[in-house]
Structure 1
């Protein structure tokens, strides 16, 4: 089970900063990758570990993942003979 920490957001110049507890294990100057999710949650990891994190996510999908498509979007056939258009699709 992972540990849970509380952090404090504060203003630093024209940016927002996040003060993390020492127990998180980051060092001053560490580069981190931060991902925000649609539900308002965030995930971050050391940038040097990005390849390991992405590899672990890839292995998390079952072999039949999306074998039947998304199932929530109906799409008709497209006419690829016409050139590119600008603006919203009709």
Structure 2
């Protein structure tokens, strides 16, 4: 299992910030992508590694992936509800 770090949030202007330990190897000013999850957890990674991470996924697909095709992909029509922010399509 990877090493765990406990961090504490603090107020910085009108934002909430995290002080990250030096042991994480993140340089000052380095950009991170943070994705919040429905269960309250978050995932973070270096923005500089986003492209490389995506391209590594391509190579991780097994050789026989989708050899039998996509299967049943038919989807019925969906009646999108109209909201004040998103009027129904014409």
TM-score by length of 1: 0.63
Which of structure 1's runs of 4+ aligned residues deviate more than 6 A?
none
Separation of aligned partners in 1, 2:28 and 2:12: 16
Q: CA deviation at 1:87?
A: 2.8
RMSD across aligned positions (CA): 3.1
In structure 1, the gaps of 5 or more residues are: 79-85
Bigger relative contact order, structure 1 or 2 (CA pairs below 8 A, ≥6 apart): 1
In structure 2, the gaps of 5 or more residues are: 79-85
How many residues end up aligned between the 2 structures?
Answer: 78
Matches for 1:10-89 after TM superposition, within 5 Å: 10-58=10-58, 63-64=65-66, 67-68=70-71, 76-77=76-77, 87-88=87-88
TM-score by length of 2: 0.63
Change (3 A) 1:20 1:88: same
